[in-house]
C-alpha cells in the first residue's frame, strides 16, 4: 500500500484543483495536490514538503478530512486528505499542466481521479456542516426564541420514564438550553453541550449551567450518563457518520442507560433554504442502522408531528437502551 497525502487548499471560499499533465498515467484527470510519504514523515510534514515542491508555496495543514484506499490496476494507494491554508507564495503548476480555483459546490464539474472522488464528496459534506454551524452562530438568539416554547412534555415523559431519579443526563446539542433547563428543574444532573458557541451562550443564560462547546463527533466519555438527549441535533450529521456517533453514545452510557434522538422525517441528505445540512430518516432507514448494534438495542421507534413556524413537521423519534 502506497501512502499518499492530498491537500484541500482553501482560499476565499474556493478550493484549488490540479490537472495531471500529458504523459502521466492519469493525464487529464484532476486531483488535490500532494504526494507520497517519505520514510519517517508524518502526513503533515509530507504535505508541507510536497506543496513547496509541487506548487512553490508554504502552507499550514489544518483539519483531517478523509483517508481513502484505492486500487489503480496493480497499484494500491491510500490517500490521506487535509484542509490546508496558504501561508506564503502563489501556487504554480510545476508538476501539473493546469490549476483551477473552484467553489466547493462546483468541484464535481471536473473529471477527478478515482481516488479523489470520495474525498471531494466528503469535503462537500464538511462544507455543508460548516454552513450549518454558521447559521446557528449568526442566528442563535432568533432560533432560541422560535424553538423555546415548542411542546416537548410528551417526549420528556417517554425519556425520563427510563432514566433513574437524579440521574446524569447529557444534552448533546443543547441548543437554547430549553431541555436542559427542564431536566435540571426536575432534579437531574445535567451536562449541556453544543457545537455552536453562540448557542452555548444562549443555553448558559437560560439555564445558569456551565454549558460547553462540543460536537457529537468529539464525545469521548465512557460509562458516564444514565441518559443522553439528542433532540434535533444528530440530524445535522451526514448519514455516513451516524454509525460512529451511535458508537460514541453507546460508550458514554452506563449499562441500561438510554438515549433519545430525533430526526426530520424524510429520505436522505439535503440542504434546506437556510443552508443547513439535514439527514432525514424514517423508521425503515433507522432500524437497519441499529438493529444489530452490539451495545445498543432499540427500545422504541415512532413517528410524530409538531408545529414549527406555523407548519406541521414530521419527525422520526428513537429511544435506545445500552445493553
pLDDT digits (tens, 9 = 90+) for 260-317: 999 999 999 999 999 999 999 999 999 999 989 999 999 999 999 987 777 889 999 9
Three-state secondary structure call for residue 173: coil
Q: Report how far residue 78's alpha carbon sits from residue 304's, in angstroms, rounded to the nearest whole number.
A: 44
Mean pLDDT, the chain, whole residue set = 95
Structural domains of the chain, ranges and CATH numbers in brackets: 2-136 (3.90.79.10), 139-322 (3.40.50.150)
What does the pLDDT look like over 141-159, one tens digit per residue? 999 999 988 889 999 999 9
pLDDT at 149: 86
Three-state secondary structure call for residue 141: helix
Three-state secondary structure call for residue 155: helix
What does the pLDDT look like over 275-290, one tens digit per residue? 999 999 999 999 999 9
3-state SS of 91-126?
Answer: CCCCCCCEEEEECHHHHHHCCECHHHHHHHHHHHHH
Asked if residues 192 and 177 have their Cβ atoms less than 8 Å apart, the reply is yes
What does the pLDDT look like over 232-253, one tens digit per residue? 999 999 998 999 999 999 999 9
Q: How confident is the model at residue 75 (pLDDT cuts 50, 70, 90)?
A: confident
pLDDT at 256: 98
Q: Report how far residue 137's alpha carbon sits from residue 120's, in angstroms, rounded to the nearest whole number.
A: 26
pTM more than 0.75:
yes
Give me the residue label for grid cell 423508521: 283
Asked if residues 153 and 304 have their Cβ atoms less than 8 Å apart, the reply is no
| C-alpha to C-alpha distances, 29 to 23, 169, 219, 304, nearest whole angstrom | 12, 50, 38, 48
As separate numbers, helices (DSSP H) first and strands (DSSP E) second, the chain gives 8, 16
pLDDT at 48: 96
Mean pLDDT along residues 180-196: 98
From the list 47, 27, 25, the residue with the least C-alpha distance to 36 is: 47
pLDDT at 309: 76
Amino acid at each position: 500500500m502506497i501512502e499518499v497525502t492530498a491537500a484541500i487548499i482553501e482560499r476565499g471560499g474556493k478550493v484549488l484543483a490540479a490537472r495531471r499533465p500529458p504523459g502521466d498515467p492519469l493525464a487529464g484527470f484532476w486531483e488535490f495536490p500532494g504526494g507520497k510519504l517519505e520514510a519517517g514523515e508524518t502526513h503533515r510534514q509530507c504535505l508541507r514538503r510536497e506543496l513547496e515542491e509541487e506548487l512553490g508555496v508554504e502552507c499550514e495543514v489544518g483539519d483531517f478530512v478523509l483517508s481513502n484506499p484505492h486500487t489503480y490496476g496493480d497499484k494500491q494507494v491510500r490517500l490521506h486528505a487535509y484542509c490546508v491554508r496558504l501561508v506564503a507564495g502563489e501556487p504554480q503548476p510545476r508538476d501539473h499542466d493546469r490549476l483551477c480555483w473552484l467553489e466547493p459546490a462546483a468541484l464535481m464539474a471536473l473529471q477527478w481521479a478515482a481516488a479523489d472522488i470520495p474525498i471531494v464528496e466528503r469535503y462537500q459534506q464538511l462544507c455543508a456542516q460548516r454552513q450549518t454551524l454558521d447559521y446557528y452562530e449568526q442566528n442563535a438568539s432568533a432560533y432560541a426564541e422560535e424553538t423555546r416554547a415548542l411542546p416537548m412534555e410528551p417526549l420528556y415523559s417517554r425519556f425520563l420514564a427510563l432514566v433513574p431519579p437524579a440521574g446524569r443526563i447529557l444534552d448533546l446539542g443543547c441548543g437554547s438550553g430549553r431541555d436542559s433547563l427542564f431536566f435540571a428543574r426536575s432534579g437531574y444532573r445535567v451536562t449541556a453541550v453544543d457545537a455552536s458557541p453562540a448557542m452555548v451562550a444562549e443555553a448558559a443564560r437560560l439555564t445558569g449551567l456551565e454549558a460547553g462547546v462540543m460536537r457529537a463527533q468529539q464525545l469521548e466519555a465512557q460509562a458516564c450518563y444514565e441518559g443522553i438527549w439528542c433532540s434535533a441535533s444528530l440530524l445535522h450529521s451526514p448519514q455516513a457518520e451516524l454509525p460512529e456517533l451511535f458508537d460514541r453514545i453507546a460508550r458514554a452510557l452506563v449499562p441500561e442507560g438510554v438515549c433519545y434522538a430525533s430526526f426530520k422525517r424524510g429520505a436522505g441528505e439535503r440542504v434546506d433554504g437556510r443552508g443547513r445540512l439535514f439527514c432525514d430518516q424514517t423508521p425503515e432507514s433507522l432500524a437497519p442502522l441499529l438493529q444489530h448494534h452490539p451495545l445498543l438495542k432499540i427500545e422504541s421507534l415512532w413517528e410524530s408531528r409538531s408545529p414549527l413556524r406555523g407548519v406541521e413537521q414530521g419527525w422520526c423519534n428513537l429511544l435506545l437502551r445500552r445493553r
